[in-house]
Structure 1
Amino acid sequence: MTPDRAQTQHFYHELFAWEFADSDHESIALIDGRPVCGIWPDSGELGRGLSYWHIYLHVADLGSAIRRAARTDGAILWGPGDYLGLASVATVRDPVGATFSLWQPHRTDRLLTDLSGTLTWAELVADELAAIPSFYGAAIGLDAAMTRTPGRRYRVLLSDGIPVAGVVHSATKAHWRAYFSVPDLTSALAKATDIGGHVVSPPVETAIGRTALIRDPHGALLGLLQPTSGPGHETTDDNAGYPSTLTL
């Protein structure tokens, strides 16, 4: 959710060229008429005035994934329920405290990813990492591996051998964070600052590309990624089917 849907739409339209299809309850962000993510307005029920990005992980069978998550020290916080007729979803807290949702699509077409302005990577950030491989392996079927980059080891989660997310150690509250592809990170950071965002961490070179973290005008944290191979490119894999939504 966001406390100001109009301002949030303006920010992301200017940053990523998103258009929006609005309803009373949600806005769907679009690129070339294809859905990228959802933005929920603040209902006022919680009254926190906060916003953040919430990751959804694709599963083939939601009921089975819920049962497996519950058996492996995960907590089912909500669901199963319907998401605007697009998918059946359930919200889960993993054993290290990170919250995400499971997404079983009703249709064969997926949310747009791996193009400029769309979700292209995700990272699970946590202090305690020991329980992560067994939980995500049992609940969702993701494998864990360690990769080596110059001066750094980087943990990844894989779907059918393809890296779909990173795992980062940090002494902070566990959370998932989303990265969106941009063709030029320097220009994107300048634009984000000009339209009310601010840079949280400066650009760094990583195995997947040049990245930085920013906050939007209402404080939602997100990553920008200039991929190593250039602007995002559409593939048959879409980060294990991650859609994403701005939520409170």
Structure 2
Amino acid sequence: MSTSRHEGSGAPCWVSLLTRDLASAQRFYGAVLGWSFRRPGRGEGFSLAYRDGAPVAGIGAYAEKLSLRAAWTPYFAVPDADVAAARIRERGATVAVGPLSFGGGRAAMAADPAGAVFGLWQGRVLPGWRVGRGPAPAWLELRTRDAFAAAIFYGEVLDWAGEPPGGCVTAAYEQDHVVLRHGADTVARISGGAVGEDPDPQIRPRWHVHFRVPDLEEAVRAALDAGGRVASPVETSATGRWVTLGDPEGALFTVLAPRTAPGAG
């Protein structure tokens, strides 16, 4: 992540997959999401995913001796990772890794009070990468126990403003959830009702990453053929359809397609 300063402190600025087998993950996501991959010169354990020549996400491999779960993690831009990490600890949450120097910036991984994992990034980010635009994720969703409490926690840690013109990133309460906007773009939603002790990772508090695909059924078929699984029923709104998938190592992600498939009706 380098070359252009992120305009919105507190906004999502990257997503990354932590996995055990980098080569296997590249084959799976290449088949399902049409990604290609490049090594950015940081060793054999990291690659950047591209779609139509533009960067989408990062994939990093962890040592097998570590007892970690494969998972997707969103990162949020902060002006000072140490200050943000201190705020996290002050509010009874956990900083699991860092802040550490990495790729021209500083990064940390943390878990909020309900246990949902997220990252911090201090530094420059890739130009043009923005949730809701181009090949970047369509949006992010935090499903947690208490949306109100979560919004307060993230708002205090990441300096989310209550309403414009307080800043580029704002959080607003709408019906039973919280909507996060970066400028005019809706980039994330916080919903309540998750159950921390539930054995199903779909129900436990966590951040969900939604990627666009042109055809939902084709993406599902590709995932099953490549050793993945379907982890939720297909859901539908007025404009789109989406379903949560699991990759061969169990990392969950959501694919989102237009309501009408290309070439239909």
> Is the TM-score greater than 0.5?
yes
The number of aligned residues is 225
Q: Deviations over 1:34-70 (max 9, x none)?
A: 322121223123145x411111112234344334333
CA distance in 1, matches of 2:78, 2:95: 15
Asked whether 1:26 is paired with 2:53, we answer no
SS at match of 2:172: strand
Structure 2 match to 1:128:
146
CA distance in 2, matches of 1:184, 1:25: 31
Q: What amino acid is aligned across from residue 124 of structure 1 in structure 2? A: L
Asked whether 1:58 is paired with 2:77, we answer yes
Does the CA-based 8 Å contact 2:55-2:135 persist in structure 1?
no
Structure 1 match to 2:209:
178
Structure 2 match to 1:7:
24
CA spacing shift, 1:108–1:20, aligned 2, 3 Å: closer
CA distance in 2, matches of 1:160, 1:230: 30
SS at match of 1:7: helix
CA distance in 2, matches of 1:78, 1:11: 27
Determine which of 195, 198, 202 is the counterpart of 2:233.
Answer: 202
CA distance in 2, matches of 1:163, 1:225: 15
Does the CA-based 8 Å contact 2:143-2:206 persist in structure 1?
yes
Q: CA deviation at 1:101?
A: 0.6
CA spacing shift, 1:13–1:112, aligned 2, 3 Å: farther
Structure 2 match to 1:79:
98
Asked whether 1:95 is paired with 2:113, we answer yes
Structure 2 match to 1:213:
244
Q: CA deviation at 1:90?
A: 1.5
Deviates more, 1:139-148 or 1:25-34: 139-148
CA spacing shift, 1:107–1:118, aligned 2, 3 Å: closer
Does the CA-based 8 Å contact 1:178-1:223 persist in structure 2?
yes
Q: What amino acid is aligned across from residue 172 of structure 2 in structure 1? A: A
CA distance in 1, matches of 2:225, 2:260: 27
Q: CA deviation at 1:135?
A: 0.9
CA spacing shift, 1:138–1:121, aligned 2, 3 Å: same
CA spacing shift, 1:115–1:12, aligned 2, 3 Å: farther
Percent of counterpart pairs with the same letter?
A: 32
* Runs of at least 5 residues in structure 1 that lack an aligned partner in the other structure: 232-248
CA spacing shift, 1:119–1:28, aligned 2, 3 Å: same
TM (norm. structure 1) is 0.77
Q: What amino acid is aligned across from residue 72 of structure 1 in structure 2? A: R
Determine which of 53, 69, 86 is the counterpart of 2:88.
Answer: 69
CA distance in 1, matches of 2:246, 2:35: 17
Asked whether 1:156 is paired with 2:179, we answer yes
**Alpha-carbon RMSD:** 2.8
TM (norm. structure 2) is 0.73
Q: CA deviation at 1:125?
A: 1.5
Does the CA-based 8 Å contact 1:116-1:180 persist in structure 2?
no
CA distance in 2, matches of 1:80, 1:45: 22
CA distance in 2, matches of 1:4, 1:173: 25
